[in-house]
Amino acid sequence: MGAHHHHHGNGHSHDDHEPIREAPEISEFEVLELAVRELSIEKGLFSAEDHRRFSEWAENIGPAGGSRLVAKAWTDPEFKRRLLDDGTATCAEVGIDWRDPTGKGTPSDYTYFYVLENTPDVHNVIVCTLCSCYPRPVLGMSPDWYRTPNYRRRLVRRPREVLAEFGLHVPPSVEVRVHDSNQKSRFMVMPMRPAGTDDWTEAELAAIVTRDTMIGVAVPQVDWTATRAPSELGGHR
């Protein structure tokens, strides 16, 4: 279904020596999704309003919620204690409601949420070896690489090597803990607050808590910002 590319009369010749080109005009998967969605709506399985409401939620989630959680935990020990005790409930204090957008949460994320604290002795990193479970309400949609079988295969067996490919070299003295997410449990890493940030505001702190630092494949740096990915700053991808 759509794995092949149709050339619908777009006028180019089929010379054997011509490089193969993608036919960009219509994606078969786009056709399939629209067909399924429209049939579902016509049959009353869900409504166009359901789709609109869910899309609006999905387009507005992102790692900023997680960044706020971490920055607040760095500056407020009581909040940090609550966050580590009960991640799901404490999210509400920064405006993340796990019951959005349906009143009972998303069908894929109805779950318990745990925040994993990095320490000088322990570095945490998350994966989903079975599929692509990810704390969407807190971190947004997962990056494409997180969903790849390659990451899912390799992280559990050789985490230090995989982290090194992301540019993160964890010293041998630090234990690396890999947390395998599943349907019922979602995780997020709370990185360590970097040195030299003592007088920073919560907003300034949140800006260096990038998505990758909360997955655990990076650690916050004082010269990073949330709007510039580590890869743009010379990190290996």
Partner 1 sequence: MQRRVSDIGPVERTPLDSPYTISTDLYEALRHIPHDVGGQADLPVPYLEKEEENWEMNTYVTCECLAWRGVWNAEMRRRAENDLGATLYFGLPYYARWATVATKTLIDQGLITPDELSAKIDEVRARLRKAAS
Residues that bind partner 1 (CB under 8 A): 1-3, 8, 25-27, 29-40, 43, 45-46, 50-51, 54-55, 58-59, 102, 106-108, 127, 129-132, 141, 143-145, 147-157, 161-162, 165-166, 180, 183, 229, 231, 237
- The pairs formed by 230-236 with CB atoms below 8 angstroms and a separation of 24 or more are 230/166, 230/167, 234/167, 235/166, 235/167, 236/165, 236/166, 236/167
- Comparing CB distances to partner 1, the nearer of 49 and 78 is 49
- Comparing CB distances to partner 1, the nearer of 58 and 92 is 58
Q: How far is the CB of 97 from partner 1 (least distance, A)?
A: 16
Q: How far is the CB of 69 from partner 1 (least distance, A)?
A: 23
3-state secondary structure at position 35: helix
**Structure tokens that stand for 187 in this block:** 């995780």
Known catalytic residues?
A: 128, 131-133
- Comparing CB distances to partner 1, the nearer of 45 and 89 is 45
Residue 156 DSSP label: T
Tell me if 212 sits within 8 A of 218, measured CB to CB: yes
- 3-state DSSP helix/strand/coil % of the chain, to nearest 5: 40, 10, 50
Q: How far is the CB of 150 from partner 1 (least distance, A)?
A: 5
